[in-house]
Structure 1
């Protein structure tokens, strides 16, 4: 279908209305030059003929009947209509119809039509058209063939983003580098079912990738005076620099970035970095002492005549390099006057909002000359202070300031700041709880692990314990070296399931039980059998006493070395085998019978006895050393074999080398225990 030529000369170009007169029988009795210019019919071709010739074939009778039913008794009506050009294509027009009284006493209709795609001149413009053209809302009309028939100035300004914003261009026409399938499909659905589409977001990126636009588009169907669909109206607004959209993006980003780790300082800094510059020019995150485990109490710091240490700075960000607005660096105590907004927020738990920061004499700033000087020097003019509250406890405050940004904070900005702080406070509280429990568990773990290992006259020993950086940081991994009668030595390594302080406590119980059984001089297999029965019995007693049962699953490897015979007897309860490195540097993993883990009460266990050469290295370890999410135990054991090969270093250095090789600088997924022993060489 050819596009209508709406830019031809004459009446169409000047937008002179096309006028026709139709009598009450539907016969055309008047036809102007403007009507000929618009629809192509010469007077001789339409006068004294039925006006149905001006309509598209197929539904002429139904449309005429609809019009007669709707407007037959009116004096005036107007609306959109679809007409037929002489060459057969559709022309979308706006029709104004007025009833005429002719001398013969019969009625007629004066029809005045203007093409929807015609160029509107100031002389012909309606009262609404200047408003529509000045609107930032890009508006366009599309006919049933999805051909653009009209658009306003805002739509024309988007032609680089959407090249089909041109009168006469159809979405069905392919353009290089332009994908319009989604837009065309949406328009067809709206045209077909009549349901408008509201606020559909579309993203455009320039071919060079340097420019990006985000548009919010709405579509609704256009209907003619007969109620039948004629086309679609599209409305789009450029949201690329919308403050509301930036704020929503900020909250979405907050859910991803804030609290990415269980580290208090990192979480505080994430909040500060996120809010600058989208919300504020300068942000600080200051926490009270209650939120800061393992730091020097603020009460011990000396107060000044006008200010006291109330917070410790944990996060700060600014649009200015070097953060000239901040009097204190991260980690330092923050001093504030008792009457300041910061202490007021901490005491009340309610935010402080100053659209225009009051720096006049007589305010709290009189007691804080250093901060007043900074405020004047950096031109701070708008302030928000929001409490950090989580689970009913006040953790500190976050301060939002504007200086370079001339716009003052609004109530909407305050709401965004509060929402950010709510999310950050929960993450900070989680990090605080994690840090406290991890500190307590580490203290317990290190207290329970042997501090001064000795191999007596049998072996030289060294050890390492590495807490994990995941879960609760501390698990139930442990090791021990227990001197026995006859210069023999018992070497033990174990792994209690779980993490945190409970796992550390269960580990201590298991370690004590192993030492007690070891002093009874039980063989390894028998010792594990007694240990399994003991722990299973203890768990049954805890359950029958009405306390919540925390099942103690544990693996254990117990070995006894006799230097007189150079015999090493070992037994395992669900634990990986030891690594043995002979004096030549060859590494082997003995085929040790692996029984069930401790605590199931279904032993017994079997032992393996080996004769070791003098200078043999025995490496006992937990699975955290050899197993990761990316690699199974077999792969880990191969890596351990390579790390131990030709191990002639001092044992302390060897432990460090093995840990570095196996774990490196990555975060450990599980805690690691490593115990190495080298059999002594006789002097003979």
Structure 2
């Protein structure tokens, strides 16, 4: 026979022999010659048993015979082939004619017979099984054979022979399948696992999802005789996979942010339209302020409509507050059409199949999710409700985490923001505006800091500092240093002395944390501290490793102050040096951190030059400082921050000559009356007679104390700014101390009276001694 033929026992390919009853070969077919590798003349006259591997087994072979047709197996000689299966049919007519009986013997290799039998059994069982629909179509896509499970739906006829798919499926579905099958017929390319939703004409409904595979059938000579297709109902599997995919997408969007409103919007957009036509998410009002939400067993709850998707414009108002009475019992549920008593007639969920699930976390009601489908889609099932409940459970944890994050962040930002002054400040002689850009945008604060500190006698201190590092540790260190600077500034120390004390503090902080494996560098910092005296127009500045301030004159020219900066704070062992320079009225002082001038510049000098060039045109006459700062920073730092950036701008204007007066007095009791006369005359000239009695008494007490305890030349000065300032200076370094005098004592009450009569008082050391000062509020203008 021909190897590989479709049917090894096909009549056209029989290996046939005609033999008599003694086994003598009388005739043979061409297939027999091919199988036995002998010609017909070689076979003629031979015996069948001689073709066997063991001729002596011939009786055993004959014993397999039985009935009108003998069938069995035999093993041919090795040079003739292997094991074969044979059939023997007696030929009629020989015996009646007085001739020997003749028999037709045909055979085929046993392996091919087994393959044919296996294929036949496979096809039979395939058509008998009822788990996969199986259909054979002819070239015109008419059904010629099916099993009983082709499409187990209403509307599929029992007898399908000769039917077309369009006879029982909806036209659109039949056309999709016909197109796929015709392509298989035309190209021979198999179709594997193609999903299509099918609906019968009798029961359209939601339809079923079928996975279709098909391959072309070819007969002899590769003649196309049809196409075979399998139909597997994968509706439940696809729905399950779809639900898992939806749950995965919902979990993904919920994990991208800790903002409750954004999470709700993202989730609503995932649910629509894949899962529902409309989705509404309400979140407990307390979530947005970080407060504790109402426990779930309470009856009354306040929710805010946070997100809606798929609703008609205006049907659902975002931000609308909804007061609910749950009766203290929360349960997820489904409803049909407008049965839900929690929706009004104008609600987009009315007249829909709908479901709702509560957002609950840690025993509190966080919110709820409601979804709805139009009547064109199948209603929700119990599996859908379970899916929504699972999504709601995950969403509740995310929203509650967002609430807790909001609470903690509000507390942290509030605390950290309190560590910095207002972005703008106003004193009688200085107006400031600042720009503060931390790299840590989550908290809004990092290691940079600035400050504007009012000092005595209308003076002002300007401070800018930069702590090494970022994050919470840098913020804590910054807070410590800023507090220390304010404390030292209250002592009216000069800049170089103040930085020396601050350097000692940083060294102590580093020493205290060595056991915590914190290096000295973790507490390193730079600082620029300067004071402005509006009476003298003098600025006094010192730097601890910090860039110098820029001074922009009223004419727009800008220079950097020539400072001799000391080492950064925490290095220790080296002195700091103060520099004095004059700032004309309406000049602008610019103090910054290196994050502003170091970006994009290999040399700090280049960065300072760029700052000067940016300041000059930006400080147009009359332009508010609040506009200048952002413009300058935006020009110098146009992209993402590599370091914290701080810029402090201060416009200064001094006290006019008409608003201050000073006198030098000898240390003699007789000058007290002279001093009172000076005070009264000057206050009368300023129209401040209402303050004459108090100021005269204050001046008398302070000058008397200076004469009694200090000696030497005494200075008296009055300054009129937003308050009336009275100063008495002497050469003593003794700190004045207020005490409560006993009833029997004649003195000791002077400073106590001064404290009672004035709004503020204090003292400061100078290079030549000390100055005691007082402040009184000016009377309202008439």
Question: If the length of structure 2 is used for normalisation, what is the TM-score?
Answer: 0.51
Map 1:243-258 to 2 at 5 A.
246-254=242-250, 256-258=252-254
Pairing 1:133-172 to 2, within 5 Å after superposition: 157-158=179-180, 165=184
Find the aligned partners of 1:480 and 1:310 in 2 and give their Cα distance.
Answer: 45
Classify 1:48/1:263 alpha carbon distance in 2 versus 1 (closer, same or farther; 3 Å): closer
The answer to whether residue 439 in structure 2 is matched with residue 481 in structure 1 is: no
Q: CA deviation at 1:252?
A: 4.8
1:453: Cα distance to partner?
3.9
For 1:404 and 1:309, how far apart are their aligned partners in 2?
33
Q: Measured at CA, do residues 335 and 393 of structure 1 come closer, stay the same or move farther in structure 2, by a change above 3 Å?
A: closer
Match 2:273 to one of 271, 277, 293: 277
Question: In the alignment, is residue 312 of structure 1 matched against residue 303 of structure 2?
Answer: yes
Query: Do structure 1's residue 532 and structure 2's residue 503 form an aligned pair?
Result: yes
Q: C-alpha distance in 2, partners of 1:236/1:536?
A: 81
| Map of 2:684 onto structure 1 | none
For residue 20 of structure 1, report the CA deviation from its aligned partner: 3.5
Equivalent of 1:354 in 319, 323, 334: 334
Deviation at 1:317, TM superposition (A): 1.4
1:102 aligned onto 2:89: yes
CA distance in 2, matches of 1:488, 1:52: 124
CA distance in 1, matches of 2:275, 2:572: 63
User: In structure 1, what is the equivalent of residue 758 of structure 2?
Assistant: none
Asked if the contact 2:537–2:654 (Cα under 8 Å) also holds between the matched residues in 1, the reply is: no
Q: Any gaps of 5 or more consecutive residues in structure 2?
A: 19-27, 38-60, 65-69, 74-83, 91-102, 124-135, 154-173, 196-209, 216-227, 658-782
* Structure 1 pair 242–666 and aligned structure 2 pair: CA distance change class (3 A): farther
Pairs within 5 Å for 1:233-382: 246-254=242-250, 256-258=252-254, 260-293=256-289, 310-322=301-313, 324=315, 326=316, 329-339=317-327, 344-345=329-330, 352-354=332-334, 356=336, 359=339, 365=341, 371-374=343-346, 378-382=350-354
Q: Superposition pairs for residues 178-217 of structure 1, below 5 Å?
A: none
The CA distance in 1 between the partners of 2:397 and 2:603, in whole Å, is 37
CA–CA separation in structure 2 for the residues paired with 1:236 and 1:632: 72
Partners of 2:588 and 2:175 in 1: CA distance = 84
Equivalent pair of 1:493/1:557 in contact (CA under 8 Å): yes
Q: Secondary structure at the match of 1:482?
A: strand
Partner of 1:428: 399
What is the CA distance between 1:261 and its match in structure 2? 4.4
Partner-residue secondary structure (3-state), 1:658? helix
Query: Once the two structures are superposed, what CA deviation does each residue of 1:576-618 show, in whole Å capped at 9, x if it has no partner?
Result: 55444344434455686777664x5556465573745524422
* Contact kept in structure 2, 1:586 and 1:645, CA below 8 Å: yes
Task: From the superposition, tell whether residues 602 and 153 of structure 1 become closer, same or farther in structure 2 (CA, over 3 Å).
Answer: farther
Counterpart mapping for 1:246-645 below 5 A:
246-254=242-250, 256-258=252-254, 260-293=256-289, 310-322=301-313, 324=315, 326=316, 329-339=317-327, 344-345=329-330, 352-354=332-334, 356=336, 359=339, 365=341, 371-374=343-346, 378-389=350-361, 394-404=365-375, 406-450=377-421, 453-454=425-426, 457=429, 459-465=430-436, 470-484=441-455, 489-496=460-467, 506-538=477-509, 540-541=511-512, 552=523, 554-561=525-532, 564=536, 566-573=538-545, 575-587=546-558, 598=569, 600=570, 602=572, 604=574, 606-607=576-577, 609=579, 611=581, 614=584, 615-622=586-593, 640-641=611-612, 643-645=614-616
Q: Which residue of 2 aligns with 1:676?
A: 649
Provide the secondary structure at the position in 1 that maps to 2:486.
Answer: helix
Q: How many residue pairs end up in the alignment? A: 519
Shift of 1:435: 2.4
Shift of 1:676: 1.0
Note if contact 1:514-1:531 (Cα within 8 Å) is conserved in structure 2: yes
Determine if contact 1:469/1:669 at 8 Å carries over to the other structure.
no
Distance 1:595 1:313, change over 3 A: farther
Contact 1:20 1:29 in 2 (8 A): no
Instruction: Give the Cα separation in 1 of the matches to 2:598 and 2:71.
Output: 89
Change (3 A) 1:121 1:617: closer
Structure 1 residue 677: Cα displacement: 1.5
Contact 1:497 1:554 in 2 (8 A): yes
- Relative distance call for 1:332 and 1:594 in structure 2 (3 A) is farther
Deviating more after overlay: 479-488 vs 271-280: 479-488
Report the alpha carbon displacement of residue 619 of structure 1 after superposing the two structures with TM. Answer: 1.6
Cα distance between partner residues in 1 of 2:258 and 2:595: 21
Deviations 1:385-412 (A, max 9, x none): 13243x7765332223334553222344
Q: For the residues of structure 2 that align with 1:513 and 1:426, how far apart are their CA atoms? A: 43
Task: Tell me if the contact between 2:288 and 2:406 (Cα under 8 Å) persists in the aligned partners.
Answer: no
Distance change (3 Å), C-alpha of 1:167 and 1:200: closer
Deviation at residue 236 of structure 1 after TM alignment: 11
Looking at structure 2, the residues matched to 257 and 633 of structure 1 have their Cα atoms a distance apart, in angstroms, of 45
More off after superposition, 233-242 vs 658-667? 233-242
The one-character-per-residue Cα deviations of 1:415-442 (angstroms, maximum 9, x if unpaired) are: 4434544553444334323322332234
Give yes or no for contact 1:533–1:601 (8 Å, CA) kept in 2.
no
Asked if the contact 2:261–2:307 (Cα under 8 Å) also holds between the matched residues in 1, the reply is: no
Shift in CA distance, 352/560, structure 1 to aligned 2, threshold 3 Å = same
The Cα of 1:464 is off from its aligned counterpart by 4.8
Residue pair 1:617, 1:678 contacting (<8 A) in 2 also:
yes
Q: Is the 8 A contact 1:456 1:489 kept in 2?
A: no
- Residue 571 of structure 1, CA deviation: 0.5
- 3-state DSSP of counterpart to 1:490: strand
Q: Provide the C-alpha distance between the structure 2 equivalents of 1:124 and 1:253, rounded to a whole number of angstroms.
A: 42
Find the aligned partners of 1:280 and 1:76 in 2 and give their Cα distance. Answer: 68
CA contact 1:556–1:597 (8 Å) conserved in 2: yes
TM-score (normalizing by structure 1): 0.57
Kept after mapping to 2: 8 A contact 1:647/1:654: no
- Quick check: 1:480–1:493 contact (8 Å CA) kept in 2? yes
State the shift of 1:646 in Å: 2.6
Measured in 1, the distance between the counterparts of 2:501 and 2:394 equals 51
SS in 1 for 2:629: helix
- Deviation string 1:455-494 (CA, Å, 9 cap, x unpaired) is 555x443335567783233435432223456765421023
The reply on whether 1:49 has 2:45 as its aligned counterpart is no
Larger Rg belongs to: 2
Most deviating of 309-318 and 103-112 = 103-112
Q: Cα distance, 1:568 vs. partner?
A: 4.4
In 2, the alpha carbon distance for the partners of 1:200 and 1:592 equals: 80
User: What SS does structure 1 have at the residue aligned with 2:359?
Assistant: strand
Structure 1 unaligned spans of 5+: 5-11, 31-43, 54-71, 78-96, 135-151, 172-182, 184-197, 202-214, 221-232, 300-306, 346-350
